[in-house]
Amino acid sequence: MNNKIIRSICYFEKEFSEKTIYIIENISKKLLNAGYEIQTKRICSPIQNFTKFERQVNNKELLLGAGALNLEDAYRNLNDFFQSKEVSFNIDLSDQKIDEKSIKILTEIINNKSEHTFRFAYTFNNPGSSPFFPSAKYEKDGFSIGFQPTDSSEDCRSLEEWLNKMNAMWQEIFKLFKNEDDFLGIDSSIAPAFSGKGSLVNFIKRLGYEFNKSITTDIYIKITNFIKINNPKPIGLCGLMLPCLEDFELADEYEKGNFPIERNLFLSLQSGLGIDTYPVGINQNQERLLEVVKLTQKLSNKHNKSLSIRFVSDGKTKIGQQTDFRNEYLKDVVVREL
């Protein structure tokens, strides 16, 4: 099978120890021997001193996550976050009062270290042990695995063919690790990236759908139902990611006006996981940001559904201007008003 891509191996540990690095390497070797390409290896520990965490791990091949913080702890560690190079975190706002202070932390990051918006998210009813950053949250020790499964759709002529390819990968990974006590499970989320075979929008179009019309069909529900039901050991999010600027062909739809924030939330309620790598201009009205965050919290609580928000900014681009992220994972676009 071609295009067998692991997006993330993530080891969760309450207190980091050096042996974790060797454990991750052993997991990686098993996956490489099984014919998988590994994009990232990660560690998530509930450590609030971000730069100390980086010094302890001291391994540039590993991405680090501090998991979920409350708003007060996030503010307390904000300067340390600015100094960090690899650490991601999220703020759990599931049952918190959302006000101007909740939004100010985002603007502080934009104004002081805009590239770090890529490593920050708001989360609502977020499950533990997802290997995807910045939404990863420590719950217990062990490791989970997430895929970039869109690539496996390259030669598929039907939705069913692609779903079956994904299922074959899940079953293979489950057999490979099922007897290991620290194997937490598989996050079967659809995590697209780039264009062509890596883009979910590209696959939808190859099936004969226009993106606009596809949103009011049942294709996305079919996908999410399948990945939840057939995953042999589900953990984490297990949903449809809609990363506005990481899926480059979704970014094209955004620029055309086909992926406004309300359409993003509509898709998220039926099949997705929230607002992800969604661009904001530095002159975006703060009250509007507050409205979107409040609504996402209320939708998450009303429907008992995990949602998150990751707004991104390059720290200089206004609404109507072209971004300059200088980030290989984000496509530059002309920013639209929320």
Domain range list for the chain: 5-312
In the chain, which residues have pLDDT < 70? 1
Tokens of 330: 């984000």
What's the CA gap between 246 and 154, in Å, rounded?
A: 18
Contact in structure between 69 and 89 (CB atoms under 8 Å): yes
Contact in structure between 187 and 233 (CB atoms under 8 Å): no
pLDDT in tens, 204-233: 999 999 999 999 999 999 999 999 999 999
pTM of the model as a whole = 0.96
Measured CA distances, 94 to 33, 98, 124, 241, 329 (Å): 41, 10, 4, 19, 28
Q: Which residue has the tokens 């063919």?
A: 161
DSSP state of 99: -
Residue 109 three-state SS: helix
What is the pLDDT at residue 47?
A: 87
E strand or H helix at 255: helix 248-255
Per-residue burial over 51-65, b = 16 or more CB atoms within 10 Å of its CB, e = otherwise? bebbebbeeeebbbb
What is the pLDDT at residue 3?
A: 87
Tokens of 121: 């998210």
Tokens of 90: 């999220």
DSSP state of 190: B
What's the CA gap between 327 and 161, in Å, rounded?
A: 33
What's the CA gap between 227 and 221, in Å, rounded?
A: 10
What's the CA gap between 338 and 333, in Å, rounded?
A: 14
What's the CA gap between 93 and 123, in Å, rounded?
A: 6
| 5-312 fold | Anaerobic Ribonucleotide-triphosphate Reductase Large Chain (3.20.70)
What's the CA gap between 40 and 64, in Å, rounded?
A: 11
What is the pLDDT at residue 48?
A: 84
pLDDT in tens, 224-264: 999 999 999 999 999 999 999 999 999 999 999 999 999 99
What is the pLDDT at residue 131?
A: 98
What is the pLDDT at residue 317?
A: 98
What is the pLDDT at residue 284?
A: 97
Work out the burial of residue 85: count CB atoms within 10 Å of its CB; fewer than 13 is exposed, 13-18 middle, 19 or more buried: exposed
DSSP state of 318: P
E strand or H helix at 108: helix 100-113
Residue 190: strand pairing partners: 240
